[in-house]
Structure 1
Amino acid sequence: MTVVNTLPRRTGFVGISAALVAFFIAAGAVTPLLPLYEKSWGFPHSTLTLAFGVYAIALLAALLVAGSLSDHVGRRPVLVGALALELAAMLVFVTAPSIGWIIAGRVLQGIATGAASSAFGAAVVELAPERHKKLGALMTSLASTAGLGIGALLSGLVAQSVPAEAAFTVWLVLVIVMAAGTVFAVFTPETVTRRSGALASLTPRISVPARVRRQFAATAPGVASVFMTTALFLGLVPIVFAAVFAAGGPVVGGLAAFVLFGAGAVVSAATSGVRPRDLEVAGDLGLTAGSILFVGGIALGAFPLVWIAAILSGAGMGATFSGTIRGLVPQVEAHERAGLFTAVFVVAYLALGVSAIVAGPIATAVGVADMAIGFGVVLALVSALALVLSLRGRAFQQRGDRSWTGVAAGR
Structure 2
Amino acid sequence: MGLRQNLAQFMLLVAVNALVGGTLGQERTVLPLLAGQVLHLDLYTPALTYILAFGLAKAGTNYFAGTLSDRYGRKPVLVTGWIIALPVPLLLIFGPSWGWIVAANVVLGISQGLTWSTTVVMKMDLVGPSRRGLAMGLNEAAGYLGVAATALATGYIAANYGLRPGPLLLGAAYIAVGLGLSVFAVKETRDHARLEAANHTSAHADAHGELGNREIFTLTSFRDKSLSSVSQAGMVNNLNDGLSWGLFPVLFAAAGLSIDRIGILAAVYPAVWGAGQLVTGALSDKYGRKWLIVGGMLVQAVALGMIALGTGFGIWLAAAILLGLGTAMVYPTLLAAIGDVAHPAWRARSVGIYRLWRDGGFAVGALLAGILADAFGIPTAVAAVGALTALSGILVAVRMRATDHQRAG
Q: Taking structure 1 as the reference length, what is the TM-score of the superposition?
A: 0.79
Q: Which residue of 1 aligns with 2:85?
A: 86
Q: Give the number of the structure with larger relative contact order, counting CA–CA contacts within 8 Å between residues 6 or more apart.
A: 2
1:24 is aligned, of 21, 34, 37, to 21
Q: How does 1:44-83 map to 2 (within 5 A)?
A: 44=42, 45-83=44-82
Per the alignment, residue 226 of structure 1 pairs with 237
Pick one of 314, 328, 332 that aligns with 2:324. 314
Of residues 172, 175, 189, the one that matches 1:175 is 172
Paired position in structure 2 for 1:147: 146
From 289, 299, 305, the counterpart of 2:315: 305
SS of aligned partner of 1:69: helix
Equivalent position amino acid for 2:178 in 1: G
Q: Tell me how far 1:168 sits from its aligned partner.
A: 0.9
- Look up the equivalent residue of 2:248 and give its one-letter code: V
Deviation, structure 1 residue 58: 0.7
- 2:42 paired with 1:36: no
Bigger drift between 134-143 and 288-297 goes to 134-143
User: Whole-Å Cα distance in 2 between the matches of residues 59 and 204 of structure 1?
Assistant: 22
Q: Give 2:219's match in structure 1, choosing from 208, 220, 229.
A: 208
Cα distance in 1, alignment partners of residues 253 and 347 from structure 2: 43
Q: Which one is further off, 217-226 or 205-214?
A: 205-214
Gap change, CA 1:189 and 1:287, over 3 Å in 2: closer
3-state DSSP of counterpart to 1:30:
coil
Between the aligned partners of 2:189 and 2:222, the Cα distance in structure 1 is 30
The alignment partner of 2:356 has SS state of helix
1:37: Cα distance to partner? 4.2
Offset at residue 384 of structure 1 (A) = 2.0
CA distance in 2, matches of 1:408, 1:289: 32
Distance 1:159 1:409, change over 3 A: closer
Deviation string, structure 1 residues 183-205 (Cα, Å, up to 9, x no partner): 343323542579xxxxxx99996
* Separation in 1, partners of 2:385, 2:28: 20
Unaligned runs of 5+ in 2: 1-5, 192-211
> Is the 1:221–1:385 Cα contact (8 Å) retained in structure 2?
no
SS state at 1:191 partner? coil
Deviation track 1:291-313 (CA, whole Å, cap 9, x = no partner) reads 2212211xxx3543322221222
Size of the alignment, in residue pairs?
A: 375
Shift of 1:252: 2.7
- In structure 2, give the amino acid aligned to 1:230: D
Moved more, 166-175 or 384-393: 384-393
The worse-fitting range, judged by mean Cα deviation, of 220-229 and 312-321 is 220-229
Q: Does residue 346 in structure 1 map to residue 363 in structure 2?
A: no
Greater displacement, 96-105 / 251-260? 251-260
Cα distance in 2 between the residues matched to 1:72 and 1:215: 26
Cα distance in 2 for partners of 1:33, 1:408 equals 43
Residues in 1 aligned to 2:161 and 2:406: alpha-carbon distance in whole angstroms = 58
Residue 122 (structure 2) pairs with residue 111 (structure 1): no
Between the aligned partners of 2:65 and 2:368, the Cα distance in structure 1 is 27
User: 1:198 is matched with which residue?
Assistant: none
| Cα deviations by residue, 1:303-361 (Å, 9 ceiling, x for unpaired) | 43322221222111111233333444323422342343233223212222221134335
Q: Is the 8 A contact 1:222 1:382 kept in 2?
A: no
Candidates 360, 381, 390, aligned match of 2:387: 381
Give the % identical residues: 21
1:261 and 2:284 correspond: no
Kindly provide the amino acid, as one letter, of the partner of residue 278 in structure 2: A
Answer whether contact 2:124 2:339 (CA < 8 A) is retained. Answer: no
Contact 2:155/2:262, CA 8 A, preserved across alignment: yes
* Equivalent residues of 1:149, 1:261 under 8 A apart: yes
| CA deviation vs aligned residue, 1:78-120 (integer Å, no higher than 9, x gap) | 2332212111212222322222211111111111111222323
State whether residues 74 and 191 of structure 1, in contact with CA within 8 Å, keep that contact through their aligned partners in structure 2.
yes
Change (3 A) 1:381 1:216: farther
Tell me: CA distance 1:256–1:225, structure 2 relative to 1, closer, same or farther (3 Å). Answer: farther
Any stretches of 5+ residues in structure 1 without a counterpart? 1-8, 195-200, 398-404
Distance in 2 (alpha carbons) for counterparts of 1:64 and 1:376: 29
Larger radius of gyration: 1
More displaced, 132-141 or 179-188?
A: 132-141
1:287 alignment partner in structure 2: 300
TM normalised by structure 2 equals 0.79
Q: Note if contact 1:93-1:171 (Cα within 8 Å) is conserved in structure 2.
A: yes
Distance 1:24 1:406 in 2: 28
> 1:289: Cα distance to partner?
1.3
Task: Give 3-state SS (helix, strand or coil) of 2:386's partner.
Answer: helix
1:270 is displaced (CA, Å) by: 1.5
Deviation of 1:374 (Å): 2.5
Change (3 A) 1:189 1:281: closer
